[in-house]
């Protein structure tokens, strides 16, 4: 009987290993797209249970119902919306309004607004920590982070970061990590004491934006706009290598189930590489997307990624503007999802 149990355990390990290996080896491609109205865009989130995608747009939060393919241009109104952060374990979502000094807390099933919460200036990226019930709003212009208590629907603290914050990651052990774009470093914030306790320099990294965290290897992956992803030890800030990626990255996602890192880049590429349990990076796979697809969201259930994008042109003064009628949300999937 013990022998049979051991054999079953071995078989289970083999099957799980095969699944992970298959996910790592799968080829990825753009398999679908959802057109939407003209206008600016930023971060994106996907709710696997609801099968709904939320996109930060200039005039509010746009939604896509993946079952019906219905696009709702303004599900919740906003002013230069930058982040659309799902509050896991609840029906809520937090969106940030860059053109105002606030964030909107709303029911993501109905769109009903629960609260407007004051933040710093230029609220951009946001993150939620289930362990503490706190959301964190990175304020680009005032160079600080606002702590938001979701249960109270109120801002409870502000921590100065000493530079322009971009994306952040949480380790579940009391540390918040924030990419600082203009100083090329990661600010480490102790959530309980609400202070910056360390700064990790990012050599050879220009304008770090996206940030992902792997709890198994205790590794941070910081995406840089100059075609590099830096691998950083979360405990001490030690350099653990770098990976060549596309240009103009503005996001980073770690898929714990498949042990893959996804980094969308403005140049029209999606860089994908694996991480082993020690945090060593595998070979980079480059997926062609479209120019401007610089942020992404992952549906962990399917392995599909959703990337907002629009074609660009230069106006008479050399500024980049969107080409009318070209906004879309791309769907990138592993080969198994295309069958």
Identify the pLDDT of residue 2: 41
2-338 CATH choice from 2.70.70.10, 2.130.10.10, 3.30.450.20, 3.30.70.270: 2.130.10.10
CA distances from 205 to 36, 125, 187, 242, 249 (A): 34, 20, 15, 10, 11
- Provide the residue-wise pLDDT of the chain in tens; the chain has 339 residues: 444 443 444 333 333 343 444 444 469 999 999 999 999 999 999 999 999 999 999 999 999 999 999 999 999 999 999 999 999 999 999 999 999 999 999 999 999 999 999 999 999 999 999 999 999 999 999 999 999 999 999 999 999 999 999 999 999 999 999 999 999 999 999 999 999 999 999 999 999 999 999 999 999 999 999 999 999 999 999 999 999 999 999 999 999 999 999 999 999 999 999 999 999 999 999 999 999 999 999 999 999 999 999 988 877 777 878 889 999 999 999 976 544
Ramachandran assignment for 248, one of left (phi > 0), alpha (psi -120 to 50 degrees), beta (any other): left
Which 8-state DSSP code applies to residue 224?
E
- Cβ-contact 295, 251 below 8 angstroms: yes
CA–CA dist 225, 235 (Å, integer): 24
Instruction: Report which secondary-structure segment, H or E, holds 244.
Output: strand 239-244
pLDDT digits (tens, 9 = 90+) for 242-279: 999 999 999 999 999 999 999 999 999 999 999 999 99
Which 8-state DSSP code applies to residue 21?
H
Count how many residues are written for the chain: 339
User: Where exactly are the structural domains of the chain?
Assistant: 2-338
Identify the pLDDT of residue 300: 95
Identify the pLDDT of residue 219: 98
- Cβ-contact 58, 39 below 8 angstroms: yes
Secondary structure (3-state) at 18 = helix
């Amino acid at each position: 009987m013990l022998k049979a149990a051991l054999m079953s355990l071995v078989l289970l390990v083999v099957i799980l290993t095969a699944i992970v290996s298959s996910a790592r080896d799968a080829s990825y491609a753009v398999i679908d797209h959802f057109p939407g109205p003209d206008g600016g865009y930023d971060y994106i989130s996907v709710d696997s249970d609801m099968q709904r995608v939320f996109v930060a747009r200039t005039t509010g939060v746009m939604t896509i119902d993946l079952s019906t393919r219905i696009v709702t241009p303004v599900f919740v109104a906003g002013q230069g919306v930058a982040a659309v952060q799902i509050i896991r374990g609840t029906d809520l979502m937090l969106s940030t309004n860059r053109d105002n000094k606030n964030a909107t807390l709303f029911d993501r099933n109905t769109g009903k607004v629960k609260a407007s919460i004051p933040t710093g200036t230029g609220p951009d990226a946001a993150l939620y920590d289930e362990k503490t019930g706190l959301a964190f709003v990175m304020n680009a212009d005032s160079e600080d982070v606002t702590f938001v208590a979701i249960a109270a629907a109120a801002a409870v603290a502000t921590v100065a970061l000493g530079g322009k914050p971009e994306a952040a990651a949480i380790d579940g052990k009391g540390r918040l990590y924030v990419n600082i774009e203009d100083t090329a470093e990661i600010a480490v914030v102790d959530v309980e004491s609400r202070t910056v306790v360390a700064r990790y320099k990012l050599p050879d990294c220009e304008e770090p934006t996206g940030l992902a965290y792997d709890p198994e290897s205790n590794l941070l992956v910081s995406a840089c706009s100059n075609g590099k992803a830096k691998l950083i030890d979360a405990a001490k800030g030690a350099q653990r290598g770098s990976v060549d990626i596309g240009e103009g990255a503005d996001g980073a996602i770690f898929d714990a189930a498949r042990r893959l890192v996804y980094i969308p880049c403005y140049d029209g590429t999606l860089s994908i590489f694996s991480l082993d349990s020690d945090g060593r990076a595998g070979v980079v796979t480059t997926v062609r997307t479209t120019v401007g697809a610089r942020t992404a969201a992952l549906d962990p259930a399917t392995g599909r990624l959703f990337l907002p994008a629009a074609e660009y042109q230069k106006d008479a003064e050399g500024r980049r503007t969107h080409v009318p009628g070209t906004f879309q949300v791309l769907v990138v999937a592993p080969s198994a999802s295309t069958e």
